[in-house]
Structure 1
Amino acid sequence: MTTEVKDLPRGRAFTRADLATMPDDGHRYEIIDGSLIVSPAPRIRHQIVVTALIPRLRDVCPPDARVLTVPVDVVLADDTVMQPDILVALRTDFTESDLPGPPLLAIEVLSPSTRGIDLLLKKERLQRAGCPHYWVIDPDEPSIIAFTMRDGVFELCGQAAGTETFAATEPLSIAFTPDELID
């Protein structure tokens, strides 16, 4: 096995082209407004939530939309390529390699290493891109907070913790308790 040294851009923002040079090493590489975000592989608890939520979303997903999980590039600009943990988008919006534009719904499951990025950077950048819905799930509580776009700004539209029922009608009609996502 050889060690490979990458030349990182100096004096300029990271771009989508730079992502293609990142190693396939189990880390998630994203760029937000030109800044490189590197995340380690998620914890098992994180993956339990993702795998519990995917079939629930697919069961209520309309036929013209698709539910996918990471890794799927969401390209918001040449300097912003994200990979939400789960996304829902219209089938016609995908290319063969990515989603060029915001999804209908982006869902992040918090990890200790990504909490600030998910609650601040990603939320703000998805808001600027016009993503209609953004949900954040905390597997440690467990809880969910949901935001919807109103007049260009994310507003809190729902939340639940533990055995409380979270219900949404947009972009999907779904109800569950955060406890149900943890086995």
Structure 2
Amino acid sequence: MTVMADIEHPADSGPLTVQDLEGMPDNGRRCELIDGVLVVTPAPGRRHQAIVVRLWRVLEVECPPQFDVLVAPFAVHSGDKIELQPDVLVGRDEDFTEKDLPAPPVLAVEVLSPSTAIHDLNTKKAIYERLGTHSYWVIDPAEPALTVFELDVDGNYQQVAKAAGDEVFEAERPFPVRIVPRELLGRLG
């Protein structure tokens, strides 16, 4: 598998900050900042976006009023050296600002694509774990499959579920919701 994400860290410039991202051109690429290192990924494809939109719909229908469900691009900040844009996120309503989520989401979801898979399964998973994001879901459109990670008592992610194809995943956190991976593909499945 080839990782096509560009990691940019200009020589002798020091770590970038969240403020540095505000001056970046809006060229359709997703810019994230991980410990001061800029990670740029290409715009997602049709299948990826179809899954994101369908998952948002499923979550939004069941979402209680104390939470909100949003899709990228919407920034999750932690300090001035981290800005992530999960494909789908659930956060506590009280934690959001108009511009960003300056607190850990209660759920972060990434849909794998060839250009982001290694990054999503390793780097971003580790950052969400470090931030204390209780649930991290990874959707593989190829199977299709949903893998669910939750923080254990020591603050480490453990895989707690995997549903593929027509299997049903009954989430309890952050709120009860039923997910069938194949249904997220819609007519593309």
When normalised by structure 1's length, the TM-score is 0.93
Mark the runs of 5 or more structure 2 residues left unpaired by the alignment. Answer: 1-9
1:110–1:138 contact (8 Å) kept in structure 2 = yes
One of 66, 69, 75 as aligned partner of 1:67: 69
Aligned residue for 2:43?
41
Amino acid at match of 1:87: L
Aligned length: 177
- Output the CA distance in 1 between the equivalents of 2:24 and 2:163: 38
Mark the runs of 5 or more structure 1 residues left unpaired by the alignment. Answer: 1-7
One of 137, 162, 171 as aligned partner of 1:168: 171
Deviations 1:150-182 (A, max 9, x none): 121011111111111112111121112111111
How do residues 111-150 of structure 1 correspond to structure 2 at under 5 angstroms?
111-150=113-152
SS of equivalent to 2:53: helix
Amino acid at match of 1:107: V
SS of equivalent to 2:64: coil
SS of equivalent to 2:126: helix
- Output the CA distance in 2 between the equivalents of 1:60 and 1:10: 48
When normalised by structure 2's length, the TM-score is 0.90
- Output the CA distance in 1 between the equivalents of 2:144 and 2:58: 17
1:67–1:89 contact (8 Å) kept in structure 2 = yes
Q: Which runs of 4+ in 1 moved over 2 A?
A: 8-11
Aligned residue for 1:104?
106
Deviations 1:9-47 (A, max 9, x none): 734111111101211111110011111110111010001
Amino acid at match of 1:166: F
SS of equivalent to 1:120: helix
- Output the CA distance in 2 between the equivalents of 1:141 and 1:13: 38
SS of equivalent to 2:133: coil
Measured on the aligned residues, the alpha-carbon RMSD in Å equals 1.3
Aligned residue for 2:3?
none
SS of equivalent to 2:149: strand
- Output the CA distance in 1 between the equivalents of 2:172 and 2:163: 15
Identity %: 46
